[in-house]
Amino acid sequence: MRTLKKIILVLLAIPIILLLIALMVQKDYAVERSIEINRPKQAVFDYVKYLKNQDNFSKWANMDPDMVKTYRGTDGQAGFVSAWKSDNKDVGAGEQEIIRIEPGSRIDYELRFIEPFESTENAYIITTAVDSTKTEVKWGFNGRMDYPMNLMLLFMDFEEMIGGDLQTGLENLKAQLE
């Protein structure tokens, strides 16, 4: 009987300990990758400012060729929305909106995931001239996992998971533009 009580106490203590640990774990995460492209800054910016062009370089946009995409607004301007829906569980459904553009240098997006989970995150692309013929492109993603889901940040390497996909997209962009 004592052994059973000890087992029950341990089983009850584990979730409590995990919840206490989650109180101390960060909630925010940020991932950024960059690449140099042998093209002038304005040429690169003029390409990446159009959200539809992400279909040509984003790893995520190419995960399901049967994905249904819809668009609202004027591409390349704040307020433009690109929505997707896929039966592939790794793609799910959601939309991405251009929320701000700094002409020639930065585009900010809001990503609204609907399926397989609901979440709203921010992303951006920044272009910086290295010289008159080279441009550094940074693609970043900022996220937040609220308590107690933030405990997953201890077990999942978002830097590797998301970072690898961003890097693949940047390499595809470089191949597209050079």
pLDDT of residue 65: 84
**pLDDT of 159 higher than 90:** no
Q: Confirm whether pTM is higher than 0.95.
A: no
The angle subtended at Cα 64 by Cα 58 and Cα 67, nearest 5°, is 100
**pLDDT of 76 higher than 70:** yes
Would you state the structure tokens that stand for residue 172, as one six-digit string?
Answer: 């595809």
Q: Which residues contact 98 (CB under 8 A, 6 or more apart)?
A: 51, 76, 77, 78, 79, 80, 81, 107, 108, 109
88-127 pLDDT, tens digit each = 888 899 999 999 999 999 999 999 999 887 889 999 999 9
Mean pLDDT of 32-51: 97
Q: How would you label 4-40 residue by residue, b for 16+ Cβ within 10 Å and e otherwise?
A: eeeeeeeeeeeeeeeeeebeeeeeebebbbebebebb
Would you call 126 helix, strand, or coil by DSSP?
strand
What's the topology of domain 27-177? Alpha-D-Glucose-1,6-Bisphosphate; Chain A, domain 4 (3.30.530)
Domain locations along the chain: 27-177
